[in-house]
Homo-oligomer: A and B are copies of this chain.
Amino acid sequence: MGSLDDLSSSDESASSQLSDFKPLDPEEFRKQAHQMVDFIADYYTKIESYPVLSQVQPGYIRTRMPDKAPNQPEPLEDLFNDVNSLIIPAMTHWLSPKFFAFFPTTVSTAAFLGEMLCTGFNAVGFTWQASPAVTELEMVVMDWLANMLRLPESFMFAGNHGGGVIQNTTCESILVTLHAARDRVLENIGAVNMRKLVVYGSDQTHSTFTKASRLAGIHPSNIRSIPTNLAQGFSLCPEKLGRVVKDDVARGLVPLYLCATVGTTSTTAVDPLEPLANVARAYGMWFHVDAAYGGSACICPEFRHFLNGVERVDSLSMSPHKWLLTYLDCCCLWVKNSALLVKALSTNPEYLKNKHSESDSVVDYKDWQVAATCRRFKSIRLWFVLRSYGVENLQNHIRSDVRMAKKFEWLVRSDPRFEIIVPVRFALVCFRLNPYPEVESGDTELLNRKLLDWVNSSGKIYMTHTIVGGVYMLRFAVGATLTEECHVIAAWKLIKEGADELFKS
């Protein structure tokens, strides 16, 4: 600590030199943030001109950067130049209207404004008192969204025991509910029986379920992945599940947790909640629904039936960053029995104690999430989206994406060289080039791999693939916020052109 003593005894000029550095001068902030707004608005204007999938090779940025951070400040202009010349070429442009890969992330001006405000305040809401608005606005917005999804009151704060919370990701939503479920069961059967706990999903359940289960200490061999098939639309069959669970119980294992999906990643399959709830209830399992993608669509009455049976599940998560225009990352989790979550996740260090928490009159969201004391003002982003656009526009936005996917499906069906693998349910089209449908061979896969490579390396669009039920297929996911019908039509023309090229050679 000698150096600190040196500091204390150092002269006035050193002291004034130290205080000259003002990293949050409001007028400097105003000036530079305005510049950044223009930079981003310009980027959105030009975004179609960039190759969607970055065409750089590994090492592109690392070999062009110095080994060390600079000692002295560099002007903002240099940073903008580097963003243009180094960063942008190495980006895959997720917001491009020609991005049809994975599931697109959806964004909006309102969400950007909300995010700016969230960052600007930089409030931390681990307890109610740490910033009351952070907690209360989240409670309000989560009830609003629950209403939009027509969730039963048992999932709302307006009810008695339930409520919603914003997590960063689906993995966290599964992890915290699995933790609550696990602790409840171990309390009864003893922690030495941890090795016996089994969790269930289908072979289409997102890989995040396996990841969360392993993080929670579930043995990999106890993570069941029930096979699905094309005939059943790749959805989890309740009878099959029932048989697997029964077998496990007969072997002395303990069924713990069932994860169903509304809108799987590969093909947007939907697991039937109602009959699955029967199985979960019969064996006393926690029943979670991962509606990360499909959940957003359920704000439209015509899609709501996919959530039928939700009144019998224990928890539900959906990610507005996928389809409700909110930027990354934002995963909404509702639980019916929040006390179980709090019991599993609460921490109560002295330095966070305050009269409101102790009187039990408030929600302290730190006990609903993974992080102990880190908690951003995320609800303000959703609040901006919901109020700026209103429910009807959001419903129309979903419908517009679905309509474009249907259009693409129609285009694919109109070309006899191609086939649709599963009917379009949301805004994803799973299809393949299959010129000789009577012969199922490795050649078909190779052909489609080549087509995908040809299309993506053009930089003109970006789409991805999957393999389900042994079939290699192309995924065309509509949903990037800037995508319009003209982009879908142009994409189809490009894909046809690729097919023409392949047949030529």
Contact = CB atoms under 8 A, between A and B. Distances in A.
Contact of A30 (B24, B38, B370): B38
A28 interface: yes
Interface stretch (A202-210, A247-255, A310-318): A202-210
Contacts of A139: 62
Interface stretch (A66-74, A235-243, A433-441, A497-505): A66-74
Given A69-B147, A217-B217, A120 B87 contact: no
B131 A54 contact: yes
A113 to B, nearest CB: 5
Given A121-B94, A351-B266, A406-B4, A387 B74 contact: yes
A119 interface: yes
Interface stretch (A40-48, A272-280, A332-340): A40-48
Contacts of A425: 1
A442 interface: no
Contacts of A216: 215-217
Contact of A302 (B4, B38, B90, B170): B4
Interface residues of A, number: 180
A72 B328 CA distance: 24
B403 A8 contact: yes
Given A61-B137, A123-B94, A70 B386 contact: yes
Nearest to A355: B453
19 contacts: A7-B403, A8-B406, A23-B108, A26-B44, A33-B112, A34-B34, A37-B116, A60-B132, A62-B157, A65-B137, A70-B387, A102-B373, A112-B119, A115-B119, A116-B119, A207-B348, A211-B370, A211-B372, A215-B216
Nearest to A120: B40
Contacts of A137: 61, 65, 87
A98 interface: no
B129 A92 contact: yes
Q: Report the copy number of this chain in the oligomer.
A: 2
Contacts of A361: 58
Interface string A68-106: 111111101011000100111011111100000010010
Given A92-B129, A121-B95, A208 B109 contact: no
A136 B23 contact: no
Contact of A266 (B44, B62, B350, B397): B350
A13 interface: no
